[in-house]
Structure 1
Amino acid sequence: MVEFGEQLRRAREAKGMTQQSLAEQLYVTRQSVSRWECGDRYPDLLTTKKISRILEVSLDDLLSGKEMTKVVERNPVVENKIVNNIVIVLYAFVVLSYLITVFDIVMRLILVPDNAINSSTIYLLVIQVVGLSISIAAFLYGLVHAVRGTLSPKRMGAVLVAYFAACIIADTNHMMPLKAWQQFAVMGVRVVLPNMIAGIAAFYYFIRVDNRKIWICLISFTSVWGIFQAVITLYPTMLGAEEFLALNISSRLVLSIAIDVLVLYQTYTLYKKRRHAIEISE
C-alpha cells in the first residue's frame, strides 16, 4: 500500500504543481508540504480535504483508513494556532509559578532555624516539593512540544497523567495532619479519588487510544469537579486574606480553573478529531 506522502507527491506532480504553488493555495510553508511528502508529518483533516479538492483526487486516494487514524494520533491535539499559543502561555505560567513555590519552600527550610521547625513539617514540605517537581517536569515537557507543534495525544496524555499523579501526592500531603479517620476518608473521596480516576481515564483515552465514552465522561466529570473544588476552597480564603496573600490565592484559583478548562477542551477536541477520522474512513 502506497503511503500518504507518496500519494500526495504523485497527485501534485500529475496536476503539474510545485510544492511552493500547492503551499500557497493551502496558506502553509513549502517546508510543510515537503514534510508531508517525506512522511515526517501529516496535515490535519481539514487541510487534507483542501488538498483533495485542489489536486482533484478523492480522500480515499490520498489516505487509507489506517492513515486517517495516523493523522489524528501523530498530529498535535490542538492545531489552532491561537489556542496553541494560549496553551504555551498557560504551560509557561504553570512552570514559572511552581518554580517560584519550590524556591520559596527551599528558602524557608534553609533560613528558618532548626529549632523553629519540626521533623513532621519538614517531611510535609519535602513531599510538597516532590509533587511540584513532577508537575514542573510534566508541564515543561508539554511546553517544549507545544512550542514545536508536536504535542500529540500520547504526549498530551503523558502530561496529564503526570499532573494528576502530582495532584494526588499534593492532596495526600494535605491529608497527613488530619487526626480523625472520618476527615481523612472524606478528603480522600473529595480530592484524591477524583485525581486517581482522571489519571486512569487520561492514560486510556490519550495514550492507549481507547475511544470509549466512559473515559471522556470521567475526564469531564473530574475536571468540572476540580473547578468546583478550587472555587469552594480558595475563593472564601481569598476574600478574608490580606492584599498580597489574596493576590497569590487568586492567581492559584485562576491557574487551577484554567488547567481544568484546558483539559476539557483538549479532551473534546481529540474526540471530535477521532470521530471525524472514523467518519471519513467509512
Structure 2
Amino acid sequence: MVEFGEQLRKAREKKGMTQQALAEQLSMTKQTVSHWECGERYPDLATTKKISQILSVSPDDLISEEDMENIVERNPVIENSLINTLMVLLYTVAVISLIITPYPRFLGFNVEIVDHSTLEQKFGEFYFFGGVLSLLQIAGFLYCLINAIKGKLSPRRIGLGWMMFFTVNFIIHCSNLITVLSYGADWHIISLILVNAMINLLGVVACIFFFIKKNNNIMWATILGIISVFGLYVNVLHELYDFIRTAIEGDWHIKWYGYSYYWYKAALYAFIIYQVVVLYRKRKVVAEIEAIDK
C-alpha cells in the first residue's frame, strides 16, 4: 500500500510545485511538508482536504484508511497552537507544584485525614513515601510537557503520562488503606480511602484502553470524564470551601499559599475532559469515513 507521504510527493510533483510553494499556500513551513512526505508526521484531516484542493486531487487519492488512523494516533491530540501553549503552561505548573508539595496533590478526598487520625507517628513516613512516588508523577507530567513543547503529544503519550499519575495515586491510597486498617480506623475513613483508590484504579484502566489501546468505546471516555469531575470536586471545590471557611475565621493569610493552585488544578481536570472529547471526535470521524468506504 502506498503511504500518504509518497502519494503527496507524487501529486505535488505532478502539479509542478515545490515543497516551499505548497508550504506557502498552506501557511506552513517547508520543513512541515518535508516531514509529511518522509512519513514522520501527518497533517490533520482539515489540512489534508486543503492539500487535495491545492493539488487538484481527491482526498482518497492521498490518504488511505490506515493513514487516516495514523493522522489521529500519531498527531498531537491538541493541534491548536494557542491551546497547546496553554497546556504547556499547565504542565509546567503541575511539575513545579509536585516538586514543592508532592503529597497533598494526590487525587482523592482529603488525604490529610489519614495524617490527623491515630497515625501521628506515621506522619513523616507518609510524606517520605509520597515524596518518592511523586517523582514518578513528575516524570509523567514532564514527559507530557516535553512532547507538548515539541508538538508531539500524541494520544499514546498523553495516556502514558496520566497513567503514571493515576498509578501513583492508587499505590498511595492503597498504602494508606493498609495502614488505617492495621490501626483500626473507623469505617468513614476506610471508605473514603477505598473510594480514592478505586477512582484512581479506574483512571489507570481507562487511560490504558482509551489512550494507549485506541479503544474509542464511549464507556472509557465517560469514565475519564467522571474522574475529572470527581477531581474537580475533591481537589478544587471542596478545598475552596475549606479555604473560605478558614478565611471567615480570620486565618486566610496563613492558608492562602497552600490554596493558591485552584485555577491550575481546575484547568488540568478541564484539559483531561477536553483532550478526551477531541480525541473521541477525531476517531469517530475516521470510523464514519471508513464505514462509508466499506
TM-score by length of 2: 0.85
The reply to whether residue 48 of structure 1 matches residue 80 of structure 2 is: no
Residue in structure 2 matched with residue 211 of structure 1 by the alignment: 216
Q: Of residues 263, 266, 287 in structure 2, which corresponds to 1:254?
A: 263
Contact 1:43–1:71 (CA under 8 A) maintained in structure 2: yes
More displaced, 25-34 or 184-193? 184-193
Q: Of residues 210, 224, 228 in structure 2, which corresponds to 1:223?
A: 228
Task: Give the letter aligned to residue 25 of structure 2.
Answer: Q
CA drift of 1:234 comes to 0.7
**CA-to-aligned-CA distance 1:115-156 (integer Å, 9 cap, x gap):** xxx752221111210232121111101100000111111000
**CA-to-aligned-CA distance 1:60-103 (integer Å, 9 cap, x gap):** 11111111001111101111101100110000001111112259
Runs of 4+ in 1 over 6 A off after TM superposition: none
Residue in structure 1 matched with residue 127 of structure 2 by the alignment: 125
Contact 1:68–1:278 (CA under 8 A) maintained in structure 2: no
CA distance in structure 1 between the aligned counterparts of 2:52 and 2:195, rounded to whole angstroms? 50
- Paired residues for 1:130-279 under 5 Å: 130-172=132-174, 176=179, 179-239=184-244, 240=246, 242-279=251-288
Contact 2:174–2:194 (CA under 8 A) maintained in structure 1: no
Residue in structure 2 matched with residue 94 of structure 1 by the alignment: 94
Contact 2:236–2:265 (CA under 8 A) maintained in structure 1: no
More displaced, 134-143 or 180-189? 180-189
TM-score by length of 1: 0.88
CA distance in structure 2 between the aligned counterparts of 1:257 and 1:79, rounded to whole angstroms? 21
More displaced, 241-250 or 83-92? 241-250
Task: Tell me the secondary structure at the aligned position of residue 2 of structure 1.
Answer: coil
CA distance in structure 2 between the aligned counterparts of 1:258 and 1:190, rounded to whole angstroms? 23
Contact 1:238–1:249 (CA under 8 A) maintained in structure 2: no
Task: Give the letter aligned to residue 35 of structure 2.
Answer: R
CA drift of 1:230 comes to 2.1
CA distance in structure 1 between the aligned counterparts of 2:266 and 2:196, rounded to whole angstroms? 15
**How many residues were matched structurally?**
269
Structure 1: segments with no counterpart, 5+ residues: 104-117
CA distance in structure 1 between the aligned counterparts of 2:289 and 2:29, rounded to whole angstroms? 26
CA drift of 1:165 comes to 1.5
Contact 2:99–2:138 (CA under 8 A) maintained in structure 1: yes
CA distance in structure 2 between the aligned counterparts of 1:96 and 1:38, rounded to whole angstroms? 37
Contact 1:234–1:249 (CA under 8 A) maintained in structure 2: no
CA RMSD of aligned residues (A): 2.1
Task: Give the letter aligned to residue 79 of structure 1.
Answer: E
CA pair 153-82 structure 1, distance change in 2 beyond 3 A: same
CA pair 189-173 structure 1, distance change in 2 beyond 3 A: closer
CA distance in structure 2 between the aligned counterparts of 1:163 and 1:279, rounded to whole angstroms? 33
Structure 2: segments with no counterpart, 5+ residues: 104-119
Q: Percent identity?
A: 39
